[in-house]
Amino acid sequence: MSRGISRRQAVGTMAGLAASAALVPRARAFEPAANPARAGRLRQSVSRWCYGKLSLDDLCAASKKIGLSAIDLLDENEWATPKRFGLSCAMANGFGSIPRGFNRPDNHDRLVADAERMMPLAAAAGVPNIVCFSGNRAGMSDGEGIANCITGLKRITPTAERVGVTLCLELLNSKVDHHDYHADHTAWGVQVVQGVGSPRLKLLYDIYHMQIMEGDVVHTIRESARHIAHYHTGGVPGRNEIDETQELNYRRVAQAIAETGFSGFLAHEFVPRRDPITSLAQAFSICDV
């Protein structure tokens, strides 16, 4: 299944999560100050699929009020919606799928055709980033997977450079959520980015996934910042709120990202277990450094 399809299916599970939320111990209530001063060093976004109980219009309105700048992971028919609220779409649902990506040459022709069609449309709509995937290993070695990804992605980066859209190879964990996914460590993704050698191919560094696979998040961000175009958040364990209920100090992580001079988007991709807008406002405050 494609990342977009699986996320849309996940939207349908939100009602069930909401029904079980009453059983989850409540963390300390978050009460944002009235008209708080904002640091604003990081542009923040939110992943659409995590907020399936809300219409896209309602999510955009709430996000604008909180202080976010964009919405993440929208399909083509949704790209224009955030603009009506003074927001942008920071990341488009892309082509290919999590299990079937650029690590297999027999996928390349289809992926290239889909990418060549989508990239000019995204550029025209003002969408700066498109997510893409390595695919699953299925017994393939790391070296072969990296080489195949380089070959395939080199076919589409000239168009990405021409139209001004950045392709973001997503790093995912293969331990909990996406078993057998190939690009499951930062070093793997960096080798692909370096091998392609285009300013329009970078990494989507998902903090949740990389905390599960390798930890050492702040150090990795500092070392690999030049190869990262986009960040996602999520609490470990469980991919829920990024507050004191989980193991990372997200305020410190956000500070580390800001210290690198990062100018892209930090997008919240956690599934709220409490009131969704309250949790989103809290996440914004935590990462407003």
pLDDT digits (tens, 9 = 90+) for 182-224: 999 999 999 999 999 999 999 999 999 999 999 999 999 999 9
The DSSP H or E segment spanning 251 is: helix 250-259
Token digits of residue 34 = 């009235």
- Identity of residue 115: A
pLDDT value, residue 18 = 41
pTM here is: 0.88
Q: Quick one: which of 229, 165, 231 has its CA closest to 202?
A: 229
Query: What's the one-letter identity of residue 168?
Result: C
Contact indicator for 133, 178 with CB cutoff of 8 Å: no
Residue-wise pLDDT for 91-121, tens only, equals: 999 999 999 999 999 999 999 999 999 999 9
Q: What is the DSSP letter of 10?
A: H
- pLDDT tens-digit readout, 21-72: 444 444 444 444 444 678 889 999 999 999 999 999 999 999 999 999 999 9
Cβ neighbours for 58, distance < 8 A, ≥ 6 positions apart: none
pLDDT above 70: percentage of residues in the chain:
88
Q: Which two tokens stand for residue 62?
A: 């709430």
Residue 270 pLDDT > 90 = yes
- CATH class for domain 3-11+42-287? alpha beta
Enumerate the domain spans of the chain.
3-11+42-287
pLDDT at 65: 98
Amino acid (one-letter) located at 10: A
